[in-house]
Structure 1
Amino acid sequence: MDTVATATEDAGREQPWADLGLKADEYQQIRQILGRRPTSSELAMYSVMWSEHCSYKSSKVHLKQFSEIPQETPVGKMLAGIGENAGVLDIGQGYAVTFKVESHNHPSYVEPYQGAATGVGGIVRDILAMGARPVAVMDPLRFGPLDADDTHRVLPGIVAGVGGYGNCLGLPNIGGEAVFDETYLGNPLVNALCIGVLRHEDLHLAKASGAGNQVILYGARTGGDGIGGVSVLASETFDADGPAKRPSVQVGDPFMEKLLIECTLEIFAAGLVAGIQDLGGAGLSCATSELASAGDGGMHVELDKVPLRDSTLAPEEILMSESQERMMAVVEPDDVAAFLAICAKWEVEAVVIGEVTDTGRLHIDWHGERVVDVPPRSVAHDGPTYHRPFARPAWQDALQADAAEALARPSTGDELRDTLLRLVASPNLCDKSWITDQYDRYVRGDTVLSQPSDSGMIRVDDRTNLGVSVSTDCNGRFAKLDPYTGAQLALAESYRNVATGGAVPLAISDCLNFGSPEDPDVMWQFAEACRGLKDACLELGIPVTGGNVSLYNQTGETAILPTPVVAVLGVIEDVTRRTPSAWSAAGETVVLLGESREELSGSEWAHVVHGHLGGLPPRVDLAAERSLAELLHEAVGLVTSAHDLSDGGLAQTLAEAGMRHDVGVSVRLPGDAFLGLFAESAARCVVTVAPGDLERLTALAARHEVPLAVLGETGGSDLVVEGEFSVPLAEVRAAWTATLPAVLG
């Protein structure tokens, strides 16, 4: 066994630092911190905690600018933000909501079902650790081309994993995306979001304070799954006689997690927790070092007390294991018996494995021998910081000069009709119910809006009908054309989707998915996206509550489209007065709010019809987005429906809104009908009003300085563009619904 004593005595012993993903200078930095070589257990801890996934060593120099954004929301203060397990927002009436989005991309490529399932489980525990009851999940997904063999391998498993884990937990899946692009082939993106609800006084933070307080590990037993999942598979380098490779993808047990949730919430209600942390990426290495670092700075752990599923695990492997469904709590000595009793009631195994100390050190023993003696902050927070080189790519100017506005366009009514049918059937715009029908959207009984509405909405209080709305969005093609603008467009669309339902946007969480940070082109995209989000949040007056960075999403020289997924959460005072995303009655007036421009670059039309990507993305006008959102909030009860315009333009919005309740629409488009139907200008939505209410809406739009154009009226069974074409909604629906079942079965 490699102890601190032996590490001091044989300083020259060779160690597998490179196999564990560490660089030579990082290994030397560890030796300088400790004043000796690390033990194998310490090396394991530093390697996983200093990995890109855990330490954000390539991204934190850019992420720090988010701290410049005021930590106030339009309705209250942020109770917890960046640096905690998840952001927590005051939503009024003594309630708070916590939400966060994270990635589980690489594990989901290796083992689609378990990778996606444990992505859901991990984000749920982040929310639970804040003191909240998880109430809903969402999953933004990205895949390679729909007809690619590897898409057929990963997509069914990922969708089944998301649905299987969330459904077993009894959490409704209320939104997300499924986007297809060739750059995601070999690099699917599985981003998972969870929303939780708590009272202000129930907030809990991840810190270990109070010398003598006990450290309790509870939940599932620790196994060999997930070892090195956030860095590399290298357990065999520790001990040639031990087990060979362990699986790098965690294995989930949603029924254990359900017990863990209920057990933890009862423990919170009994007031038995002084600090708490979930065990996700980096497992015990993360939980022990982060709790100690955020508290009084000292902790002593007896690692041999950790309950194991596999008795052959070495201490290094126990520290690196990412076995799921585990939590760590700091409990005052007098409360330990009550804590353990609640765990026993829920049949959740719990063991005291250590205590908080005032030493300022993290001490971990294995059968009486010290295997870890480190300053916890050096593991959890003071890892390397890289100022990676970045520069605007040499190819960016040529890409932006190749505008889609120059491409051949349909010119006749028949051609416009055929284009609409082709687009609604395209993988990115088609019906996604093949995916979403595998998710339970209504369990718990508080789902107000879900797929295919613009946003998901959950009732928080069944007495007052207070609720929250969430949307996730990103157009990676826009971000490729201009990552600064593309990130802002992702935020703007998510912000707009929340507003169409009648909610007030409050804050964002982001999941920044990019290629290799060692490529200056990719780092420039990342830096520009961060700058764009910061500037947009400042202008809109909403904070960043936290999020996730996923890098190295790249196959050879091919990086994914830069994909800064942005989740916006909003609050609505009365969910019974929300605005639906589609009209349901004939005879209503159809109105376009916002300014339309000739903006086709990066559009679905250019992508589907021409296989083209080039030019500049649509213009961002955040003042217009805010004015539109304020109008939509004030128009609750006046407008009978509201649907944003984004991918596919007006044509897609009219098709989706008409098909929802099989009520047709007839519109008159001023100017170029093609641009009116397929351009993708931002800050726009379509609303409907009773004919007698048009004057009130017109006055409201004028007061908010939002352009308004009357398009036509609802009714009949066709989608009609006067003077151009008419197509039965039944034909539109047949095209829209056929795509995924035809390919996936």
Structure 2
Amino acid sequence: MNFKRIFIEKKEEYNTEARSLLKEFRDYLSLHNLTRVRVVNLYDLINVTEEEKESIVKEILFEEALDNLYENKLPIKENEKVFRVEYHKGQYNQREDSTSQLIRILTNKEDILVQNSKAIILENITDEDLEKIKAYYINPIEMKEVPLDSFEFISDEDTTEDVEIIDRFIDLNKEELEGFKSQYGIGMDLDDLIFCQEYFINDEKRNPTITELKLVDTYWSDHCRHTTFMTEITDISLEEGRYKAVFQKAIEEYIRSREYVYEDRERPISLMDLATINMKEIRKKGLLDDKEETDEVNACSVEIDVDIDGKNEKWLLMFKNETHNHPTEMEPFGGASTCLGGAIRDPLSGRAYVHQAMRITGAKDPRQKYEDTLPGKLPQRKITKLAKEGYSSYGYEIGAATGYVREIYDEGYVAKRMELGALVAAAPREAVYRGKPVAGDLVILVGGRTGRDGLGGAVGSSKEHTEKSLHTSSAEVQKGNPAVERKIVRLFRKPELSKMIKKCNDFGAGGVSVAIGELADGLFIELDKVPLKYPGLDGTEIALSESQERMAVVIDSKDLERFLSYCKEEDVEATVVAKVTEERNLKMVWKGKTIVNIKRDFLDTNGIRKKSKVNIIEPIDGSYLEEIPLHLKDKDIKEAFIENMKDINIASQKGLIEGFDHSVGGSTVLMPLGGKYKLTPAEGMVAKIPVLNGNTNTCSLMTYGFEPKLSKWSPFHGGYYAVIESIGKIVAMGGSYKKIRLTFQEYFERLGQDESKWGKPFAALLGAFLVQKNLDIPSIGGKDSMSGSFEDIHVPPTLVSFAVTTAKVENIISPEFKKPNSTVALVKLDIDKKGMVDFDQLKANYSLIKELVDEGKIISATSVKYGGIARAIGEMALGNKIGFKFKEIDKEDLFRPLPGSILVEFNGQMPRIVKERDLTSVIELGTTMEKEAIEIAGGSIELDALIKAYEKPLDEVFPVYKGKDNFENIDYTKGSKITRKVKIAKPKVLIPIFTGSHGEYTMEECFKEAGANVETLVFKTLSLNDLETSYRELAKKIKECQILGLPNGSPLGDEPEAGGKLLRLIFNNPYVREALDNHLNNEDGLILGIGAGFTALIKLGLISPSTYITANESGEFISTMVDVRVSSNLSPWFNDMKVGEVYSVPLATKEGKIILVNSMDNGQIASQFDGENPTGSAFGIESMTSLDGRVLGTITSIDRVGEGLYKNTKSLGKHKIFQSGIKYFD
């Protein structure tokens, strides 16, 4: 076969991946003799001519200033050893896919293929060292080692085999069914399999196809049908002991709630019933009128009022939580990325736009030695670091802000990682139509194509993890393609389209069979019409594949043409694959044969209802709530204070947190880390509702509650305080507890038939029930995962409570101390000897805090968590380095857990109202002070010393890059304030939208606020015809505009190996390039590129031919607030600003290091980072212009600024770049 092999290696000074691997191999694997690591990407170009190869290398693969290029043979030195890896066939490879798309655009040909692999070259190691590195680096579930010089290309061909009919299935006896279950990898238990057999014997009177059995297996899996949660609990027993009366009283309350809700109707007791009974009771009491009533239940949905430019509108606020524990344990990057992608599609299927996401994870201490990794497991450090990258990259590329990040460390999570995403979304009420599918309606598959990825994921995620899983679960791995999902997000945001959708489901577990199969009782699905990634899939694979980024939509047949036209506008693939039928059957055909024909009534049985008993055991001796941690007992109070801050579950997670994009979308109210020094963790996440036209003061709030040490001591108290903690954090951010709605995530060990194991989730839910009952605050959603076991190791009993509500932006506060000389007090929630609280006191405390926050008398607050008052004071002090002087306090009171209590900073002295009401629950703790220290018990702890202790524990895993500021400020003042010769009152801005753009909404809003007319244009690439049409249309629109705006994003995932390549190809098209040159040379136009747009400007040579951009010096994605200093008055984009002026903006990039081949003193360096240099740019460069100043590119996200945003950060001012650009035309 004709192929040409290209080797691309980043030059050593820019090879951040190689540097990172060298550090990891030396430090973590203890291979100290290793002196150098090289990373080389191999590209095999197939069906390519020599001329085409040269063009592909020059335009796509190779940058002379940054890369080394080798052809045919890779140079290896004598003291180097090498191994090469490639992904398993059928798994999504973003680098390979992006390269293929770019080659198609460059050559206008569909038949040139590319295969990508990677070589790792190691200097000065032994053969034994090499094997150790390979064992660490190669995850067998996603990749394999291949010989360096080998070439293999297996073309995909259509299968000619029919789907198997299971011969003699209806005749198999019980023993034979056991063997069948094992042979075919069936996940359902034997009782369900026998029930299934009886159906085919009695109803269908035939043997089933393998598709039908696999489909039923998926439908009835714990993942899809909550089998464990729906199990009937026939008996509840309580162990004798101190807490038995507490448990008994809670059970009696539960029984009374059931009697009120169900009256005389029989309903089995189950975990699901216990989890949902509060919602039913509160709704029956008339206290849940805000919940949207719909049979589309992919996400919780409540009606809210949103003020837009002073007028209230009805909106839907949706929220959802989702885990991807099993996939992330097996393949961390893909599992974590699709955790977020799948979670986003749930409210998206409800037609809502996701504007903020929260990530809560559970792991064993990642600092453990590599040699201590359990057989059959990936190292904890590798899992947590790759999972971080996966979730982060998906969020950034799709444009969903990660508003809050927390990793919880507990030895039990070595059994199976917890990868938990929760998010909030919103949509105008009038844009959402809920219809009932009727016969004749059409089902359209929207979005990505179908491959083999994720096959068996639903059943696999319901299984216990074993030592063999890493080698046997390859097909269950899922890889995400966020650029495709971003297109669906844009599509569904069109009210003209969303109002056509009667019902929608996202493709997750079970693929076509579940996503389409759940839309209506009767369905006829034509599997041959499902678009495929490649040939060769059989009917079973098409029916069950869990390929990501797909949606199933039901519309009226009369709306088809209009619906497809909107899809085409947004460059989204859409295909009719099914229709709704009268007959209550799920029917699928493939290659002219019926391979599935199952009655809906049978599917809806969910199999045989399981039964179990529950035994709630007593908590172990001692009380988590009454004692301080053992390791602090023997230390003096000062030493204990520092030691407390070094606890791995208290210590700073700054290096982890800043790896996620917090500001994309431009609606973030609180950054995850607050204060001038960005060290005080926020209580939760807050964002403005994502309105498109106008300004709003309404924001969503989300918090979480869960403490593993408490839950391991007593699952009942763990669930009880998880709810209280999540509610308390809302109050500490300035929200009201009264309208909070909850959603739960339950994650427990595999229960089997062990009554005591069943007692753990029952007890946790019982505790959570009691809080909801007393506060009339319901959980209206949730997700359960009951497979947290690895041999005899189990995850801690995990019930995470998420609390959601809305508030006004002006009432939001954050935890970092705001000023010296403020009184700080504890608003204490008393806990009795049985670990219970007084709910009347809770309501009074939380109402008082809300009242004082709204009056401006409380200016910061934090809930008291694990680590007690000491942790709270320490974290509050660090953000702005404002010290604190304690009044007298007992050591036990300092470190004891006080869940539900809130620590507040008053705006000066304690308000008179507190003294007048004689509130004994408000206890003065001390005063803030200018001195940067904690003064306690006659001693003093310097804040800098505390910061050092606080940051050290996780620095080896998630290092914080300390950007150097060893550059001088540039002051170029030789420019003159230039304006356009021909004036235009309202200039027109064109914002083209490419595959992977995510900054178009914020850029458009900023230009409109500045007074421009804005037009957007989606550049279409689905077919070569679309491509040709888009070139001409883009060229035409450029000629009609005065300003070209290139938005931020991650076009084609910034692959291969760097961003800007897609836009370089598009703008170098002859039609487009001619229009671009005309825009600049003849029309006196302006261009602005932000982030990825700036990268494109550099690649196009519009800044300077000697300027390059590459990965940040740290090699990591960085998201934070930065200060930027204006360095030049050359550009009209800075006409309204002065040299030396400083402003604050969000930074979020992995590729922000500017490289200058030649020095510049001509004013093109428009601005510099002020102080720290987080990306490692030459001269601290933040933005640059063309030689005449009319083309500007910025690294920072200057479009993500607005009123009421980033309230917990110190802002040095707001830039005037957009206003200046518009005034250029005045």
Which of the numbers 202, 209, 231 marks the counterpart of 2:459? Answer: 231
Distance, in Å, in 1 between the alignment partners of 2:958 and 2:699 is: 36
CA contact (8 A) 1:224 1:310 kept: no
Quick one: which amino acid aligns to residue 908 of structure 2? P
Contact 1:130/1:204 (<8 A) preserved: no
Task: From the superposition, tell whether residues 17 and 2 of structure 1 become closer, same or farther in structure 2 (CA, over 3 Å).
Answer: farther
> After the TM superposition, which residues 426-437 of structure 1 pair with which residues of structure 2 at under 5 Å, given as runs?
426-437=647-658
Residue correspondence of structure 1 range 678-717 to structure 2 within 5 A:
678-692=895-909, 694-699=911-916, 702=918, 707-717=921-931
Higher helix share: 1
**In the TM superposition, what is the alpha-carbon distance from 1:652 to its structure 2 partner?**
0.5
> 1:398: Cα distance to partner?
4.3
- Given that 2:452 and 2:475 are in contact with CA atoms closer than 8 Å, whether structure 1 keeps it comes out as yes
1:726 pairs with 2:892: no
Deviations 1:239-272 (CA, angstroms, capped at 9, x unpaired): xxxxx98521111001111011111222664522
Amino acid aligned to 1:644: S
Contact 1:289-1:376 within 8 A present in 2 as well = no
Aligned pairs (5 A) from 1:534-553: 534-553=769-788
Partner-residue secondary structure (3-state), 2:821 = coil
Pairing partner for 1:214 from 424, 435, 442: 442
2:276 partner letter: S
Partner of 1:661: 880
Look up the equivalent residue of 1:491 and give its one-letter code.
V
User: What is the match of residue 48 of structure 1?
Assistant: 218
Equivalent residues of 1:509, 1:566 under 8 A apart: yes
Is residue 576 of structure 1 aligned with residue 810 of structure 2? yes
Which amino acid is 1:663 matched to? I
Structure 1: distance between partners of 2:632 and 2:818: 31
Query: 1:634 matched to which residue of 2?
Result: 851
Say whether the 8 Å CA contact 1:95–1:198 is kept in structure 2. Answer: yes
After TM superposition, the structure 1 stretch with the greater mean CA deviation from structure 2, 641-650 or 23-32, is 23-32
Alignment of 1:190-589 (within 5 A): 190-203=419-432, 209-232=437-460, 247-266=475-494, 269=497, 271-292=499-520, 297-379=521-603, 382-393=606-617, 396=618, 398-399=620-621, 405=627, 415-451=636-672, 452-460=681-689, 463-505=695-737, 506-518=740-752, 519-572=754-807, 574-589=808-823
The answer to whether the aligner puts 1:170 opposite 2:399 as a matched pair is: yes
Residue 190 of structure 1 and its aligned partner are, at CA, apart by 0.3
Contact 1:448 1:457 in 2 (8 A): yes
State the SS of the aligned residue for 1:635. Answer: helix
Among candidates 144, 147, 168, match of residue 367 of structure 2: 147
Unpaired runs of at least 5, structure 2: 1-160, 231-269, 306-311, 371-378, 463-471, 673-680, 960-1226
Which whole-Å CA distance do the structure 1 matches of 2:504 and 2:512 have between them?
A: 13
Q: By how many angstroms is 1:455 displaced?
A: 1.5
The question of whether the paired residues in 1 share the 8 Å contact of 2:219 and 2:606 is answered with no
Deviation of the 1:408 alpha carbon = 6.3
Distance 1:741 1:526, change over 3 A: same
Q: Check 1:332–1:8 CA distance in 2 against 1; reply closer, same or farther (3 A cut).
A: farther
- Of 372, 379, 387 in structure 2, the residue corresponding to residue 158 of structure 1 is 387
**Shift in alpha-carbon separation, 1:593–1:22, aligned structure 2, 3 A:** same
Is the alpha carbon distance of 1:311 and 1:677 closer, same or farther for their aligned partners in structure 2, counting shifts above 3 Å? same
Q: Of residues 187, 208, 211 in structure 2, which corresponds to 1:21? A: 187
Higher alpha-carbon deviation: 66-75 or 626-635: 66-75
Alignment of 1:111 with 2:331, yes or no, is yes
Q: C-alpha deviations, 1:114-160, integer Å up to 9, x for none?
A: 00000000000001011211111111101112322321110101111
| AA aligned opposite 2:589 | D
Per the TM alignment, residue 370 of structure 1 is displaced from its structure 2 partner at its CA by 1.0
Structure-2 separation of matches of 1:643 and 1:622:
20
**In 2 relative to 1, CA 411–514 (structure 1 residues): closer, same or farther, beyond 3 Å?**
closer
- Equivalent residue for 2:229? 59
Query: What is the deviation of 1:741?
Result: 1.5
- Residues 342, 327 of structure 1: CA spacing in aligned structure 2 closer, same or farther, 3 A cutoff? same
Shift of 1:41: 1.1
User: CA separation in 2, counterparts of 1:245 and 1:406?
Assistant: 43
CA distance in 2, matches of 1:478, 1:73: 34
Q: What's the CA shift for 1:2? A: 6.4
**Is residue 507–residue 568 contact of structure 1 (8 Å, CA) maintained in 2?**
yes
The 2-side partners of 1:449 and 1:17 are apart by 52
2:290 matched to 1:77?
A: yes
Structure 1 position 525, deviation (Å):
0.3
1:406 shift after superposition: 9.1
SS at match of 2:955: helix
Shift of 1:561: 0.7
SS at match of 2:345: helix
User: Matches of 2:891 and 2:642 in 1, distance apart?
Assistant: 14
Alpha-carbon distance change, 588 to 74 in structure 1, aligned in 2, over 3 angstroms? farther
8 Å Cα contact 1:82/1:544 also seen in 2: no
Contact 2:412/2:794 (<8 A) preserved: yes
Decide which moves more: 442-451 or 75-84: 75-84
**Residues 233 and 658 from structure 1, CA distance in 2 versus in 1: closer, same or farther, beyond 3 angstroms?**
closer
CA distance in structure 2 between the partners assigned to 1:233 and 1:143 by the alignment: 17
Does residue 738 (structure 1) correspond to residue 957 (structure 2)? The answer is: no
Match among 124, 127, 130 for residue 347 of structure 2:
127
Asked if the contact 2:351–2:498 (Cα under 8 Å) also holds between the matched residues in 1, the reply is no
Name whichever of 135-144 and 521-530 sits farther off.
521-530
Aligned residue type for 1:513: Y
Instruction: Report the 3-state secondary structure (helix = DSSP H, G, I; strand = E; otherwise coil) of the residue aligned with 2:534.
Output: coil
Structure 2: how far apart are the matches of 1:309 and 1:152? 33
The residue identity in structure 1 corresponding to 2:793 is T
Q: Give the distance between the partners of 1:8 and 1:374, measured in 2 at CA.
A: 18
Q: Give the number of aligned pairs.
A: 704
Does the 8 Å contact 2:628/2:892 carry over to 1? no
Cα distance in 1, alignment partners of residues 927 and 628 from structure 2 = 33
Query: Helix, strand or coil for the counterpart of 1:511?
Result: strand
- Give the secondary structure class of the aligned counterpart of 2:758: helix
| SS of structure 1 residue aligned to 2:519 | helix
CA distance in 2, matches of 1:681, 1:708: 14
Q: Secondary structure at the match of 1:504?
A: coil
Q: How much does 1:431 deviate?
A: 0.8
The letter for the 1-side match of 2:667 is D
Structure 1 residues 251, 465: CA separation in 2 closer, same or farther (over 3 Å shift)? same
User: How far off its partner does 1:392 sit?
Assistant: 3.0
CA contact (8 A) 1:145 1:180 kept: yes
Cα displacement string for residues 364-397 of structure 1 (whole angstroms, at most 9, x for unaligned residues)? 111221111112353356334322333234xx45
3-state SS of paired residue (1:640) = strand
Q: Say which SS state the counterpart of residue 687 (structure 1) adopts.
A: strand
With over 3 angstroms needed to count, the CA separation of the structure-2 counterparts of 1:713 and 1:559, relative to structure 1, is same
Q: CA offset at residue 33 of structure 1?
A: 3.3
Q: How high is the sequence identity, in percent, across the aligned residues? A: 23
Asked if 1 retains the 8 angstrom alpha-carbon contact of 2:432 and 2:498, the reply is: no
Q: Is the 8 A contact 2:296 2:350 kept in 1?
A: no
| Letter paired with 1:578 | I
Name stretches of at least 5 consecutive residues in structure 1 with no aligned partner: 235-243, 600-615
CA RMSD, Structure 1 to Structure 2 (Å): 2.7
1:391 match: secondary structure: strand
Q: 1:407 to 1:426 in 2, by over 3 A?
A: closer
Letter in 1 for 2:952: A
How far apart are the structure 2 equivalents of 1:711 and 1:520? 46
Q: State the Cα distance separating 1:403 from its structure 2 match.
A: 9.1
CA contact (8 A) 1:20 1:232 kept: no
Which shifted more, 453-462 or 428-437?
453-462
Residue pair 2:226, 2:784 contacting (<8 A) in 1 also: yes
- Residues 259 and 348, structure 1, Cα contact 8 Å, conserved in 2: yes
- Which structure's CA Rg is the greater one? 2
